[in-house]
Amino acid sequence: MQRLPLPDALVAQARSYASGEAAPAEPRDAATVVLLRPGAAGSQAGPEVYLLRRQTSMAFAGGMCVFPGGGVDPRDFDDELVDRGLWAGPTPAEWASRLGCDEAKARALVCAAVRETYEESGVLLAGAHADSVVADTTGDDWEADRVALESRETSLTEFLEKRSLVLRTDLLGAWSGWLTPVFEPRRYRTWFFVARLPEGQVTRDVSTESSSVTWAGALDAVEQVEQEQILMLPPTWLTCLEVGQHADPDSVLVAARERTVEMFMPEVVADGDEFILSTPPHYTELMAAR
């Protein structure tokens, strides 16, 4: 896999933060979901992932291909969602253990992951009870609810209560955590989740933040980045590479059950005469194997 050297200006910027000359921005908590479906018959590219190409005008990651996701909203912390029986699957305490944070934040991250996935793809990880999942969210009434969530006119708790649904937290898997480097002006502490596209549901190009959407084999997406056909931030690129080592979505979700998230912040490191961003050791091994 190609290892791109960092521009001199970015290296100088990183050094100014490392020396204490500049103060890093405070990161915002965020959640993103790697939405999965089986790959095409005979494909060796692993499961397919759902990608949104962000508008080039966006202040953060403009023009980049990303997974559905976004920042945690204050209303994602609403503990009434659990108290009213709208939560099914692993408890907030169990999620706190998996995500490496306290229960309140874990609950908010799971809510943000489900909410943002619905807002940006029309896919809803919820059902009438703990063993069911909504089969179709394409009607005009569903779209009105999605828009109300996106505009913050309604909260996730209110939406679920109105629809008599429970949040299916068991449909999510914890995958990884990435913290934007200190030298970036906009920083996010992002928890990556994985989820299979529920049977009967379809993705829709509904996000106002994206210019286009696509499904692609995970390793096909990696190759498109290497061939400079699309752009990705390193965490998205590396996640596609890792997910692509699995045969299907079920295999990814099984692997997720064994994971606990450790937040990783890339740093500028020397690579011969060049400088690159560091990666966790297991990703480095995957890159070397390509």
pLDDT digits (tens, 9 = 90+) for 225-252: 989 898 888 899 999 999 999 999 999 9
pTM of the model: 0.90
Question: What's the number of domains the chain is made of?
Answer: 1
The secondary structure of residue 270, as a DSSP letter, is: E
Please give the pLDDT value at position 1.
43
Q: Which domain holds residue 37?
A: 26-264
Q: Give start and end residues of each alpha helix (H) in the chain.
A: 8-18, 80-83, 92-99, 103-121, 140-150, 156-163, 218-226, 234-243, 249-256, 281-289
The tokens for 151 are 């505009």
Note the pLDDT tens digit of each residue in 152-180.
999 999 999 999 999 999 999 999 999 99
Asked if residue 271 has pLDDT above 50, the reply is yes
Q: What is the mean pLDDT of the chain?
A: 89
**45 within domain boundaries:** yes
Contact (Cβ atoms closer than 8 angstroms) between residue 174 and residue 193: yes
Asked if residue 5 has pLDDT above 70, the reply is no
Tell me, what CATH number does 229's domain have?
Answer: 3.90.79.10
**3 within domain boundaries:** no
**75 within domain boundaries:** yes
Q: Count other C-beta atoms under 10 Å from residue 62's C-beta.
A: 14
**39 within domain boundaries:** yes
Pairing of strands 166-168, 87-88: parallel
